[in-house]
Structure 1
Amino acid sequence: MSWIVFNKLAAILIAVAIGWFVGRMRWLGDADAGGSGGDPARVLSNVAFYIFVPALLFRTTARVDFASLPWLTLAAFFLPVLGLLVAIYAFQRWRGAAVKGPAVPSVQAITATFGNTLQVGVPLAAGVFGEAGLAIHITVVSLHALSILTVLTLLVELDLARARSQQSPTGLGALLLNTVRNTVIHPVVLPVLAGLGWNALGLRLPAVLDEVLQMLGTAVVPLCLTLIGMSLAYLGWPRTWRAVLGLVAAKLLLLPALVLVFAHWGLGLTGMPLGVIVMMAALPTGSNALIFAQRYRCQEGETTAAVVVSTLVFVLTAPLWLALLQRIQV
């Protein structure tokens, strides 16, 4: 890896450390033990989830040129990623993890599959693969959050509706209607649908609206990084590390291996496109996983730890994947 990537990793950890220091000093107030949502970390998470993330998703979807997308490369990346996502979700439900909370399977799934495609991914793609590789990376990024967050929102809302129906029994029709309503009227799915509609109509974003959306979208990165540090300060490290290390291993080792096997030996992908998507799969867990966990008040400490640990371990695993790719493509 180049020094650019190392500098980016260092910058990420420094931003997290700043957030931790602010949380440790309680400069923004104490955590709300009553759970009413008034603690600073949760307030900042809600700001990101209800304002900044929707702006980013709507702008991205409204501007995507679907006609020129490299569909083979996208399929080579997203089919194994979404496949692992569903597999982890199903495994967690099978082993009874939902007993701890309806959102646990979905939070585990996003932690093991959602990569840090911007803060780490962009400089990695640019430094290793150059401008052409960065173009492929950005193309995949344009659908990354849209696909993963949309699928997981549907799954988690279905689980929440099922849990509510067990407490106060309702019919199947009411259960499905409730799930669809909560899935569509949602700060992730609704801006995606609105952006797709805008895109389908062939409309261009007015300059002022585009500027506003871009300004709001760029706030996601620094807010999420400091939020990780604040969450560490308020929640602390998890008491047990087995689940966290398992999720980190799935993200840094299992996911890129699945993408490599499926893309190269399954679809015959080679060269730069193969290298870009394998390294994208090998990225550490992204901060959106924490935003998702805090949205549903589930496993926030474990997700925070997975983000930090995977970012640190990525320094060791990334050179291994790069060496393997070079060996395969020689």
Structure 2
Amino acid sequence: MLSSILVPLVPVILCIGIGYLTARVGWVRATAVPDLSNIVFLVLTPALLFRTMGHVRLQELDFQPVLLYFSAAALLFGLTLAFSRFSTAAAARALAHTFSNLVMIGAPLMGLVYGPQGLVTLFTLVSLHSLVLLTAATMVFELAEAREQQRTGSAAPRPMAHTVWQAVRNSIVHPVPLPILAGLLFAQTGWQLPEMLDRPLQVLAAALGPMALLLVGIALAHTRIGNHWRGALRVAVIKNLALPATLGTLAWALGLSGPAIAVMFTAAAMPVGANVLLFTQRYGVMQEEVSSAIALSTALALITLPVVLVLAQFFMH
């Protein structure tokens, strides 16, 4: 049983390793990473999301596991703020502890381990992941920044309502949630895509897994950890281990189990997502530490994910 659980990890590790070596020998330069990211996020990801959700009826979706995920994230987010001085730096750490890389690493891994139904469960979470976490984080960041500005007597804070609305809009008008919603709407019509359209989408969707994993390795090779490795490592350990532990404890306490819970447990163990870095850049705080944490969390996931996949089997029944 152990081998059947861990075998799907082999292509994940190999693709990341090949991407890393490709960058290290100079075949892919750092300047190419943004363009490769555009291919993954703007072309391949929407194809997989739309094609997967384009066969799902709304009554088939189960939001209970998603609620469990957000409950665990909210608990860990709150604990991070409670044990820190309320500031934008604490908000950045709290977001890094709870925001997962669900597409570039999560989608290929879930497809290999849990199959098409696992992807449907994952994409149900993905459809709300950025909207819920980034909107909540925006409010915390804005409150913390307003407090800091009030304390230092610097410029007046931005109107929170406008900032929150921007976060909500940007979380929906985005190449990840939009194709999920479009696919769900299409599925409710009962129509079928013509083969001449469905076949190219199938080819593009199949390319997402290897391309995204190669890009992860390439990005790792071009990331410099710097002097903030201790704080970054602490963030990586909490993200990779504390979030799935919190979710698993809640699931056990509530008596929840089944494949969807296993998917959420595994999703919680994904490394820190790149959107956290965008927030630190926007608020001018913790940029180097979060950038290092993303790299360390991704590298650490190669060790922690096998353990999580084994533990996830306890939720399968």
SS of equivalent residue, structure 1 residue 235: coil
The gaps in structure 1 that reach 5 residues or longer are 32-38, 126-133
Partner of 1:233: 221
Partner of 2:46: 54
Residue identity in the other structure for 1:217: A
2:128 equivalent to 1:147? yes
Count of paired positions: 296
Q: Distance in 2 between matches of 1:67 and 1:143?
A: 12
Contact 1:53 1:217 in 2 (8 A): yes
Q: Distance in 2 between matches of 1:161 and 1:58?
A: 34
Q: Distance in 1 between matches of 2:199 and 2:184?
A: 19
- CA positional deviation for 1:43: 2.8
| Structure 2 counterparts to residues 207-226 of structure 1, below 5 A | 207-226=195-214
Partner of 1:279: 262
Residues 56/249 of structure 1: CA separation in 2 closer, same or farther (3 Å cut): same
Partner of 1:36: none
Percent identity over the alignment is 21
- CA positional deviation for 1:294: 6.2
- CA positional deviation for 1:18: 0.8
Q: Distance in 2 between matches of 1:113 and 1:91?
A: 23
- CA positional deviation for 1:210: 2.6
Q: Distance in 1 between matches of 2:278 and 2:41?
A: 7
- CA positional deviation for 1:145: 2.2
Partner of 2:69: 81
| Structure 2 counterparts to residues 1-330 of structure 1, below 5 A | 1-29=1-29, 31=30, 39-69=31-61, 71=62, 74-75=63-64, 77-92=65-80, 95=84, 99-100=88-89, 105-111=94-100, 118-125=107-114, 137-155=118-136, 170-171=158-159, 174-237=162-225, 239-240=229-230, 241-262=233-254, 264=255, 274-283=257-266, 285-286=269-270, 289-293=272-276, 299-320=290-311, 322=313
Q: Distance in 1 between matches of 2:102 and 2:247?
A: 7
Q: Distance in 2 between matches of 1:216 and 1:107?
A: 30
Contact 2:44 2:205 in 1 (8 A): yes
Residues 161/9 of structure 1: CA separation in 2 closer, same or farther (3 Å cut): same
CA RMSD of aligned residues (A): 3.8
Q: Distance in 2 between matches of 1:223 and 1:159?
A: 35
Q: Distance in 2 between matches of 1:24 and 1:294?
A: 23
Q: Distance in 2 between matches of 1:179 and 1:225?
A: 28
Residues 52/114 of structure 1: CA separation in 2 closer, same or farther (3 Å cut): closer
Contact 2:273 2:294 in 1 (8 A): yes
The gaps in structure 2 that reach 5 residues or longer are 150-154, 282-286
Partner of 1:34: none
Q: Distance in 2 between matches of 1:6 and 1:48?
A: 25
